Amino acid sequence: LVTTFGVPARRGRDVVYDYLHDVGVRYVFGVPGTNEVPLIDGTSVLRLGRERIEYVPCLHENIAVGAAMGYARGSGLPGVVELHVTPGIAHGIGNLYNAYKSHVPIVVLCAQQHSELLLLESDLVQIARQFTKWAHEVRIPSELPLVMQRAFKEAMTPPTQPVFVAIPWDFTIATVDVPEPDPTRPLVTRVCSASTGDEQALTELGRRLLQAKTPMIVAGDGVGAAGAWEELGALAAQLGAPVYSASHSSRMNFPSRSLRWQGELPQTQKDMRATFGAHEVVFLCGYNSQAPVLVFQHEHGSLIPADVQQLYLHDDPWEIGKNGVGEVAVLGDIKKSLPLISAAVDRLATEADRARLKATDHALTDQGAARAAAQTAYRTAICSRGADAPLMGENVADALDRLLPKPFTIVNEAVSDAAAIRQYLDYSAPQDYFFGAGGSLGFSMPASIGFKLALRDTRTVVNVVGDGSALFYPHTWWTTFKRDLAILTIVVNNHQYRTLVRGVAAVGAVCDWHPTDDKLAYLHLESPATSFVQLASAFGIAAERVDRLGDSTQRSRAGSRRSPRATRSCSRS
């Protein structure tokens, strides 16, 4: 076959791979159907001077999407998945939602039915639209280059998010009149969006922070994405301001060892209001607000009390002032704009201001030191309960802190123990930590696969996951085994959906509603007593069960070359 240019004909799927090569991805994740075979087969076509792209098969579409999410975060490139028609995309929605809320760039390619059977099929774009930045179904094969360039451009441009492209499968084998790309020229637009926010507005923001007696800072995912720990830390120190992380942060947005860090925002309306209410000004930096409390009662007032002034800086205009009025609201690159706020504070401060800020910061860091000492004392106490004491989730966090070599990436889905995993470990950078901000469970085992493929031997990847969460996609281990990935999975097994048990109690306290059947058997996982060791072994993964405190102090061998695949199942936590 030759094209009108007289060059060898190329197929639609070859055009698709032009774009994957252009952005530099090394892996495509998916679950095959007949529709996808031509696309998958595209990974077998070798390109001169290009690294090979590999297909990573998974046993469920949500595993594939989760793996793409981890790969994107681990590599800094978009994650790519190839999903089957209707049920395929439907299965992948949970992690697509997590990626959407966590602002992870994923390009979802979905092989639609044959173009002449479309009327018999479902509207794939309608399924995916609400969880993506852009969703489109290719109408004719010649549209592929335009659509692929737009898809990657959109996914990668901040605010990064998933995009969705449905391709009737016959288009992937159709000939298209597109020549081989010139490797010296880009195929995808890379938008340089690192613009500093308006200087005047940043000065005003600095002025309001300086005037406030006790300003408070909330660090959201925008801070971690911009790599702005240092800049935000400098501002917090300058102001003597406590820094909270946004609820459901998908990265570590402030150093866990900073004496100014207060952990994530509280989880109830009452506590959240009390926290914000103690300050007259709050600076919401890179803050992505999302359903952070279980019960919201309108009559008890907004989560941020009305008399608290809200100041915003973000590179995502949608998130700025999404749920409250920003009195000063600046759109701009966070890393570049923060130093201008600090400079304004510095410029505007009188000698008296400087002395006041210094004293405030001393008091704040003294409180932080007292908090750290109390945490150390608590940790010592829970670790001194005797070798036979049953393990607690917090012991797992403590052991990881003591035994895990740096650099590491923690993928945290230890639902009711998630705070300890954030607080006990010493993270060095925002990307040392991942959580699925949508809260759709079953994200961490799949995401760990993507992280490990992206990071290879440069980092130890540890997945800490609740038993309930692990049971969503234990067949992730099939891919772990197939790809020989050294991932340490720690299943924190409390034999229940503990968060939900606590949630029912919280609803009872707030709404005065109590379930008729208070045994809540459907929130318990004791029977059958699932053996995670057997489950892991079934997929070829080495595993051991750790019941007692004394057993948890031995250094794990996972991550070492001798023991490439290991799982720890911690029971009776």
Q: Which is nearer to ligand TPP, 21 or 495 (by Cβ)?
A: 495
Half-sphere exposure of 13 (CA within 13 A, CB side): 19
Q: Say which entry of ligand TPP, Mg ion, none residue 319 contacts (CB below 5 to 8 A, set by partner kind).
A: none
Q: Say which entry of ligand TPP, Mg ion, none residue 500 contacts (CB below 5 to 8 A, set by partner kind).
A: ligand TPP
- For residue 94, the minimal CB distance to ligand TPP (Å) is 5
Instruction: Confirm or reject binding of residue 494 to Mg ion (CB under 5 A).
Output: yes
Q: Which is nearer to ligand TPP, 31 or 217 (by Cβ)?
A: 31
**Number of residues located near Mg ion, criterion CB under 5 A:** 5
Query: Footprint of Mg ion on residues 219-258 (CB under 5 A)?
Result: none
Q: Say which entry of Mg ion, ligand TPP, none residue 499 contacts (CB below 5 to 8 A, set by partner kind).
A: ligand TPP
Q: Say which entry of ligand TPP, Mg ion, none residue 14 contacts (CB below 5 to 8 A, set by partner kind).
A: none
If we measure between CA atoms, which residue out of 104, 52, 48, 44 comes closest to residue 77?
104
> Which residue in this structure is represented by tokens 């059977």?
117
Q: Which stretch binds Mg ion (CB under 5 A): 36-44, 173-181, 429-437, 490-498?
A: 490-498
Helix 229-239 with 334-348: angle, nearest 10 deg? 20
- Residue 455's contacts (CB-CB under 8 Å, 6 or more residues apart) are 74, 75, 409, 461
Written as six digits, the tokens of 407 are 């650099």
Binding residue (CB under 5 A) for Mg ion from 137, 162, 467, 478: 467
Q: Which is nearer to ligand TPP, 214 or 496 (by Cβ)?
A: 496
Q: Which is nearer to ligand TPP, 441 or 455 (by Cβ)?
A: 441
**Residues 414 and 69: beta-carbon distance below 8 Å:** no
Query: DSSP assignment of 279-317, as one string?
Result: -SEEEEES-------S---GGG--SS-TTSEEEEEES-T
Q: Say which entry of Mg ion, ligand TPP, none residue 75 contacts (CB below 5 to 8 A, set by partner kind).
A: none
Q: Say which entry of ligand TPP, Mg ion, none residue 441 contacts (CB below 5 to 8 A, set by partner kind).
A: ligand TPP
Instruction: Give the number of other Cβ atoms within 10 Å of residue 540's Cβ.
Output: 13
Residue 280's Cβ-count burial label (10 Å; 0-12, 13-18, 19+) is middle
Q: Which is nearer to ligand TPP, 168 or 468 (by Cβ)?
A: 468
What residue number has its CB nearest to ligand TPP?
Answer: 466
Written as six digits, the tokens of 544 are 């051991």
**Residues 100 and 162: beta-carbon distance below 8 Å:** yes
What 8-state DSSP symbol labels residue 571? E
- For residue 434, the minimal CB distance to ligand TPP (Å) is 16
If we measure between CA atoms, which residue out of 16, 45, 52, 15 comes closest to residue 179?
15
- For residue 439, the minimal CB distance to Mg ion (Å) is 15
Residues in the site for ligand TPP, rule: CB under 6 A? 94, 415-417, 439-442, 466-469, 494, 496-500
**Residues 342 and 320: beta-carbon distance below 8 Å:** no
Q: Say which entry of Mg ion, ligand TPP, none residue 128 contacts (CB below 5 to 8 A, set by partner kind).
A: none
Binding residue (CB under 5 A) for Mg ion from 30, 466, 474, 559: 466
Q: Which residues bind Mg ion (CB under 5 A)?
A: 466-468, 494, 498
